[in-house]
Amino acid sequence: MFKNPKTMLILFVLAVIAIFALFPTFGNNIDIKDTNGPENYSLCKLTDEDIIEGIDGDIIESTQEGSDTHFFTGRLFSGAEAIYNFENPDKSYTINLSKISVTEGNLRIVVVVDNKIVYDFEPNKPSQSYTVSGFTDNASLRVAGESAVFDLKFEIENS
């Protein structure tokens, strides 16, 4: 059909570009199904290591009200991401979660300090708090989900 190698290469490159244009999230999103039922929010496939290392998932919508209040919404979110990183190990940070609403899938919200999960927040239980202090390397608030539909609201207090 096309005997010119340059033409074949150009057509191949155009085909690859067309595939990525049609599927812009190809290779980035993961889809982990909820296999433990609608009333059980515990993770089935994601491990502690996955949560600590992070797995790029679907985009989580986030908004911020002022400098301390954060809102996150996930729609069929699968993956594990840091949603807040604590920067100064000399300070104490109190995380006040006022809303964790999970309506579908599995969700885990944890505090990771120096590459260890140190605290789990309970899904669908409002008004939870945890204080992070004394870390040496890193600390973050992380969300991990498997086809999760959720709303999350929290504030960070520094001292």
- The pLDDT of residue 8: 65
- The pLDDT of residue 55: 86
- The pLDDT of residue 36: 81
C-alpha count within 13 angstroms, C-beta hemisphere, residue 138: 12
Q: Is 30 exposed, middle or buried (0-12, 13-18, 19+ CB in 10 A)?
A: middle
Q: What is the pLDDT along the chain (159 residues), one digit of tens a residue?
A: 556 767 666 666 666 565 555 544 443 456 788 788 778 888 989 999 999 999 877 667 787 776 778 999 999 899 999 999 999 999 999 999 999 999 999 999 999 999 999 999 999 998 999 999 989 989 999 999 999 999 999 999 998
Q: How many Cβ atoms sit within 10 Å of the Cβ of residue 90?
A: 7
Residues in the chain: 159
What are 64's strand-pairing partners?
Answer: 70
156 vs 116: CA distance, rounded Å: 20
3-class secondary-structure state, position 158: strand
pTM of the predicted model, to two decimals?
0.77
Report the relative pairing of strands 61-65 and 139-158 from DSSP bridges.
unpaired
